[in-house]
Amino acid sequence: MADTIASNASELEDTTVRVLSTDEASFDDLKWCDGISLGSPTNYGTISGKMKGWCAELPPPGWGTLDGKNGSLLNDEDNLASQS
């Protein structure tokens, strides 16, 4: 999913694309970008614990500095029960 979004975004003129995991990404990356797409697998109907932890560790005073950026959120559910 991330690779498809990155591939399409990189076709835009004057665009630099970074694909980072929660282990790599920091608040500085959020400040750097003009747009962001966050993706997570579904875990019991919500985002993964790792994504929740990453969001919780971001500095709260910094969130107001991100206003006006384009963004998207992606959530993927692989329900094995529906495949049988």
pLDDT tens column, 12-37: 999 999 999 989 998 899 889 988 88
Looking at domain 2-77, its CATH class is alpha beta
| Overall residue count recorded for the chain in this entry | 84
Kind plus residue range of the DSSP H or E element containing 55: helix 49-57
pLDDT tens column, 34-64: 888 888 888 788 888 888 898 888 887 777 8
Q: What is the mean pLDDT of the chain?
A: 84
Sequence spans of domains, the chain? 2-77
What predicted TM-score, i.e. pTM, was given to this entire model? 0.73
pLDDT at 80 over 60: no
pLDDT at 84 over 50: no
Largest CA distance in the chain: 47
